Amino acid sequence: MAVWTDTHCHLDAPEFDADREAVVQRAREAGVGLIVIPAVSPQTFAPARDAAHRFGGAYALGIHPLFVRQVPDDALALLDAALQRWREDPRLVAVGEIGLDHFVPELQDEASRALQERFYAAQLDLAVAHGLPVILHVRRSADGLLKHLRRLRDVGRPVAGGIAHAFNGSAQQAQTFVELGFKLGFGGAMTFERALQIRRLAAELSPEALVLETDAPDIPPHWLYVTAEARARGERSRNEPSELPRIAQTLAGLRGLSLDALRELTTRNALAALPRLAALQASA
């Protein structure tokens, strides 16, 4: 029987430092057998890899758009070197988390947007050079991401697909990602009844487009959500990979599928998006 696959979980994040082993154990007890851990900066390349090896998961290497103003000048060279150094590691499954963020206010000035785009374009080139799919950060930036994916396709150097993480774009944008070989990630945001567009996409997209994720410790489902007022009082919520099966119940309800059928479907889609997962799934 297939296991659940969490295609996006920052298991190396400091929020898990106190109880990482217990977090993984709860995930396993919930039936989550594979966890993909995307790095976000050169500083996290080794921790993401170490967590994947320690807990039987997979990892991706990339520079997140929220970190482009914080990384060293040679960050892209460091990424290239890491991808080369660990190229034979079966747990290295993608370049990611990379992309564009057109939401965070402090990154919306002209210089910051240009820097994000430079890093994104360069990392797509590295993914093509190393023959790896990508894990994309998509926040109000789908058109910009698609522009560069189409550019590479049109010059005969297409990206080997991947996952558009936490997708929340239009149906047309979703379809374009799918046509370019991408799966779309759905997680905690889908569990909110007011997330009408996300839930509509989850219900109506081709079944071959769907993968599941938590983005833990972030994007908590509605049952873990802490209001802004509560956060101001110091309360915090932490998402975990063990929440994935319960998140999946929302998707199963939207699609009219059994949990068993959804687990088989989304695991198959994850393996298609990140082909190196297949060898790991066989031993999960």
Tokens at residue 15, please?
């929020």
- CA gap 120, 31 in Å, rounded: 34
97 is in an annotated binding site: yes
Residue 275 neighbours by CB distance under 10 Å: 15
- Cα angle vertex 15, ends 27, 92, to 5°? 60
8 is in an annotated binding site: yes
Question: What pLDDT score was predicted for residue 234?
Answer: 77
Tokens at residue 140, please?
């109000």
pLDDT tens digits, one per residue of 266-284: 999 999 999 999 999 877 7
Question: What pLDDT score was predicted for residue 226?
Answer: 85
53 is in an annotated binding site: no
Question: What pLDDT score was predicted for residue 232?
Answer: 78
64 is in an annotated binding site: no
- CA gap 68, 111 in Å, rounded: 11
pLDDT tens digits, one per residue of 208-232: 999 999 999 999 999 998 887 887 7
Bond before 217 cis per omega within 30 degrees: yes
- Note whether 64 and 87 are within 8 A (CB): no
Question: What pLDDT score was predicted for residue 219?
Answer: 97
- Give the residue carrying structure tokens 């989850």: 202
- Note whether 192 and 185 are within 8 A (CB): no
How many C-alpha atoms does 74 have within 13 Å on its Cβ side?
4
Question: What pLDDT score was predicted for residue 35?
Answer: 98
Question: Which H helix or E strand runs over 48?
Answer: helix 42-55
- Note whether 92 and 46 are within 8 A (CB): no
pLDDT tens digits, one per residue of 225-255: 888 788 778 788 999 999 999 999 999 999 9
Helix then strand then coil, in percent of the chain rounded to 5, is 50, 15, 35
10 is in an annotated binding site: yes
Per-block average pLDDT, block size 10, for the chain (284 residues)?
Answer: 91 98 98 98 98 98 98 98 98 98 96 98 98 98 98 98 97 98 98 97 98 98 89 86 98 98 98 97 79
CATH 3.20.20.140 correct for 4-279: yes
Residue type for position 48: A
